[in-house]
């Protein structure tokens, strides 16, 4: 074989290497798409046009749809790491011999993920709208596991008896709004979570809260009506 032909063959072999069932070049495209999706979802929400994600990733729309046929496929893949972590922490919380410790760690983990990845809160709260049986079973399993954790924590006298599993959604919505209003301000989110966890305890520990955020009302230019900002 000629030297030129040998080089072409070697380069083709390298490009065609398979990793985790994907060619290396296809894997690169997939990672670019997922990175772009997380960025676009953070900036424009998970309803952002798929074409916007494709442009950000530097791939054609056809390539995007070939890899992720539906928006739900793309959203689930973009935040798979975060959702897997939530699932593991929930399972560990249910098995924790100290149910309050498990409950607290679950809440803190999910809220930290909301702060870490700005597109994740909407994806988590919408629970990846899907109608597949597999997805429905996974959601039902998660709801049952959390309800079990709540009952265990209440039976142990650690969680207030009137806490309802739906209160988790209220808490996550509150943290979601805070993260959207003060992106990057982990101190504000951490303090809110600490306040709410104290409110959830059957007997508040009255421990020290995390340090306060440096934000001041006069500096805030978040999503408040103009007249409200003037009053502040």
Tell me which residue has tokens 């709801």: 143
- Report domain extents, the chain: 16-72, 80-206
Give the confidence band of 64 by pLDDT, cuts at 50, 70, 90.
Answer: very high
Please, how many CA atoms are within 13 Å of residue 169, restricted to the half-sphere of its CB?
A: 8
> Which residue intervals of 156-218 are DSSP H helices?
167-181, 186-200
Q: State yes or no: pLDDT of 90 exceeds 70.
A: yes
Q: What is the mean pLDDT of residues 169-186?
A: 83
Predicted pLDDT of residue 161: 94
Maximal C-alpha separation, the chain: 80
107-157: pLDDT as tens digits: 999 888 888 776 676 666 555 445 456 666 777 888 899 999 999 999 999
The mean pLDDT value of the chain amounts to 78
Predicted pLDDT of residue 201: 93
Q: State yes or no: pLDDT of 31 exceeds 70.
A: yes
Which range has the worst mean pLDDT, 47-56, 86-95, 205-214?
A: 205-214
Fold of 16-72: Arc Repressor Mutant, subunit A (1.10.10)
Predicted pLDDT of residue 8: 39
Give the confidence band of 88 by pLDDT, cuts at 50, 70, 90.
Answer: very high
Q: How far is the C-alpha of 72 from the C-alpha of 75, rounded, in Å?
A: 5
Four-residue CA torsion sign, 206, 211, 217, 218: positive
Predicted pLDDT of residue 222: 53
Q: Which two tokens stand for residue 230?
A: 């003037």
């Amino acid at each position: 074989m000629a030297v030129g032909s040998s080089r072409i063959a070697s380069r083709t072999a390298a490009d065609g290497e398979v990793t985790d069932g994907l060619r290396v070049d296809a894997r690169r495209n997939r990672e670019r798409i997922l990175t772009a999706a997380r960025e676009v979802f953070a900036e424009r929400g998970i309803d952002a046009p798929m074409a916007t994600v494709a442009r950000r990733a530097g791939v054609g729309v056809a390539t995007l749809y070939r890899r992720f046929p539906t928006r739900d496929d793309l959203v689930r893949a973009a935040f798979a790491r975060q959702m897997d972590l939530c699932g593991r922490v929930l399972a560990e919380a249910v098995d924790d011999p100290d149910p309050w410790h498990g409950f607290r760690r679950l809440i803190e983990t999910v809220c930290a993920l909301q702060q870490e990845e700005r597109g994740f809160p909407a994806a988590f709260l919408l629970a990846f709208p899907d109608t597949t049986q597999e997805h429905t079973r996974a959601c039902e399993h998660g709801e049952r596991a959390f309800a079990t954790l709540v009952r265990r924590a209440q039976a142990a006298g650690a969680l207030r008896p009137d806490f309802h599993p739906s209160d988790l959604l209220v808490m996550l919505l509150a943290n979601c709004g805070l993260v959207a209003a003060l992106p990057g301000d982990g101190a504000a989110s951490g303090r809110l979570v600490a306040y709410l966890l104290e409110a959830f305890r059957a007997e508040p520990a009255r421990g020290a809260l995390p340090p306060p955020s440096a934000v001041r009302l006069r500096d805030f230019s978040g999503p408040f009506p103009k007249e409200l900002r003037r009053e502040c």
